[in-house]
A = this chain, B = another copy of it.
Amino acid sequence: MSEPNAEEVQRLFSAAPFIAQLGLRLVSIGSGECRTALILAERHLQQDGFVHAGVHATIADHTAGAAAASLVGEGQYVLSVEFKINMLRAARGTELNCVAKVLKAGRTLIVAESEVTCASEQGERLVSKATVTLAVVSRQRS
């Protein structure tokens, strides 16, 4: 594959307020691949002390979006069409790590999957897995 579109991927992390507030950090970019990390804090939890499913979903969706964005051309961006996520284990720990990989990059649709692991005293374990469909959109000329 050619060089990843690192500029567009970085924009997904520098220009998205919801991601900044969450605290999701870009770890690495490849062509069709992205890694992110999140230091867990109380604000990420649901009512029983586990990481909220919405946090799993946000990380999985955004990292998949970044993996997809690494492949788009100049003047293009990606939008999530839909995703599905399985929470495999109730997550409790110190950090979430996510790896997203593109399964298929089409001209108008990109499909990626994300694996989220949670680091805790028991080690690092897979806690959720998502499949994300994204649309490739062309920016309107002004």
Interface flags, A1-37, vs B, CB<8A=1, else 0? 0000000000110111111011000000000000000
Q: Provide the residues of chain B in CB contact with A44, threshold 8 Å.
A: 17-18
Chosen A-B contacts, 19 in total, with CB atoms closer than 8 Å, are A16-B47, A17-B45, A18-B54, A19-B52, A21-B43, A22-B54, A46-B62, A47-B77, A48-B79, A50-B79, A54-B59, A57-B61, A82-B84, A82-B85, A82-B131, A83-B84, A86-B104, A86-B111, A103-B129
Enumerate chain A interface residues (CB-CB to B < 8 A). 11-12, 14-19, 21-22, 42-48, 50, 52-55, 57-59, 61-62, 65, 77, 79-90, 103-104, 108-109, 111, 113, 126, 129, 131, 133, 135
